[in-house]
């Protein structure tokens, strides 16, 4: 029988910098990006990889054949035991948090003591698919589709993800000026965090790349306001107020209390619980709101009890809508900048924001934090962690 009260800890995490679209990391497949983050994590923690029971690998677009084997190949390349199994997880933008929740359940159910949880995405490598080449076409050309573009478009409701953010902007009366200001501030917060050496400790450099490439140091509000709306003529979403399309990976080790004591480790946070919910796909960006509220209800907490939030910035207007709906104090939300500034490597994002959140709780000596993301197709996911 499992033990719901069995405690689960985040030992530590490490990530690559996030490379801009077509940038420094574009030639590294997702598994190799995850290997870099994992090896840096193992080196930092001095954890013996042979003591890890499973690998859970979050990935959305299997951009190379190797990525289809991601969890297993990551285990083998990082010298875990031959018997160590690997699993791939895809809950779109919530994949990283979902991987943490799955790993936590294994530990709570006494099926594992310690796991490697990793997420990676190389959006630069997202392939174009050719249909009809295997058996031919009777008439006309072969059909080619861009898997990256299709990932950002929900065929069920025939809407681009950007339009779902515009729908929220209409509902919450969010202007382009509001979105531009939010995006500008996301860059400012990230730049200030870099200047204070707050972000660098979570990054494992890749060759000469040691900083998130999507982040603009010379960002100005004036330039942000000059960008034209992408999806609607009078809309709020521009190239500057959408999350950056980037490449990158993040890895974490989570473990039971027994494992922590046995190996004399100092965890950075405890995983308390999480929730996943469904929402209307045409307003998918609101997903964090019901997910967070359901999580708080289950844990018998309120918004005011949570010291810090990391809500993924899929779009500035979407993030503002969640902020408004939850009535979160802006000083507690995405305090080191978000995906508008740093980028959103789909499978890695949930792990990245959770790692950042855990480090923020340590840095500021705060108790509770929630990481959350909206999910294409109309879902929301949220994770509650506690400073150790």
For β-strands 114-122 and 246-256, DSSP reports them as antiparallel
Candidates 93, 209, 250, 322; catalytic one = 93
Residue pair 312/353 in contact (Cβ under 8 Å)? The answer is yes
Active site residue 93: yes
DSSP for residue 18? P
Dist. CA 149–CA 137, nearest whole Å: 24
In terms of DSSP H, where are the helices of the chain? 30-45, 65-68, 70-77, 95-108, 147-151, 161-171, 176-195, 221-226, 257-262, 288-299, 316-326, 339-342, 346-364
Buried b (16+ CB within 10 A) or exposed e, 52-72: bbbbbbbbbbbbbeebebbbb
What is the longest distance spanned by two Cα atoms in the chain? Answer: 67
Q: Which helix (H) or strand (E) holds 11?
A: strand 8-15
List C-alpha distances in Å: 287 to 155, 313, 353, 370, 373.
18, 12, 16, 14, 7
Candidates 78, 209, 250, 374; catalytic one = 374
Active site residue 374: yes
Q: What share of residues in the chain are helix, strand, coil (percent, to 5)?
A: 40, 25, 35
Buried b (16+ CB within 10 A) or exposed e, 110-140: eebbbbbbbbbbbbbbbeeeeeeeeeeeeee
From the CB of residue 195, how many other CB atoms can be counted at a distance below 10 Å? 10
Rg (CA), the chain: 20
Dist. CA 76–CA 352, nearest whole Å: 23
Please identify every residue annotated as catalytic: 93, 374
């Amino acid at each position: 029988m499992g033990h719901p009260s069995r405690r689960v800890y985040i030992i530590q995490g490490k990530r690559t910098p996030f490379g801009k679209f077509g940038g420094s990391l574009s030639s590294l497949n997702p598994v190799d990006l995850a290997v870099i983050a994992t090896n840096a994590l193992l080196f930092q923690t001095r954890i013996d990889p042979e003591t890890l029971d499973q690998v859970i690998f979050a990935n959305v677009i299997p951009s190379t054949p190797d990525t289809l084997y991601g969890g297993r190949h990551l285990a083998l390349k990082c010298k875990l035991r031959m018997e160590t199994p690997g699993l791939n997880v895809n809950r779109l933008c919530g994949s990283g948090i979902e991987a943490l929740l799955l790993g936590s359940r294994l530990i709570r159910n006494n099926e594992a003591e310690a796991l490697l949880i990793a997420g990676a995405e190389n959006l630069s490598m997202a392939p174009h698919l050719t249909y009809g080449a295997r058996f031919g076409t009777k008439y006309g050309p072969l059909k080619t589709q861009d898997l990256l573009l299709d990932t950002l478009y929900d065929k069920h409701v025939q809407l681009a993800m950007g339009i779902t953010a515009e729908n929220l902007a209409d509902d919450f009366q969010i202007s382009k000026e509001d979105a531009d200001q939010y995006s500008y501030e996301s860059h400012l917060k990230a730049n200030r965090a870099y200047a204070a050496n707050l972000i660098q400790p979570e990054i494992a450099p890749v060759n000469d790349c040691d900083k998130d490439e999507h982040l603009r140091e010379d960002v100005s509000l004036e330039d942000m306001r000059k960008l034209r709306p992408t999806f609607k003529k009078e809309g709020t979403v521009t190239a500057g107020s959408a999350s950056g399309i980037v490449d990158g990976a993040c890895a974490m080790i989570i473990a039971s209390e027994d494992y922590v004591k046995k190996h004399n480790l100092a965890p950075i946070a405890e995983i308390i619980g999480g929730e996943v919910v469904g929402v209307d796909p045409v307003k998918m960006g609101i997903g964090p709101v019901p997910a967070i509220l359901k999580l708080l209800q289950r844990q018998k907490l309120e918004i005011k009890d949570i010291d810090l939030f990391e809500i993924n910035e899929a779009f500035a207007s979407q993030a503002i809508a969640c902020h408004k709906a939850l009535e979160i104090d802006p000083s507690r939300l995405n305090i080191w900048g978000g995906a508008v500034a740093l980028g959103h490597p789909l499978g890695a994002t949930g792990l990245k924001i959770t790692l950042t959140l855990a480090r923020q709780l340590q840095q500021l000596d705060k108790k509770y934090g929630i990481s959350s993301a909206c999910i294409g197709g109309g879902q929301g996911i949220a994770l509650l962690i506690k400073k150790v």
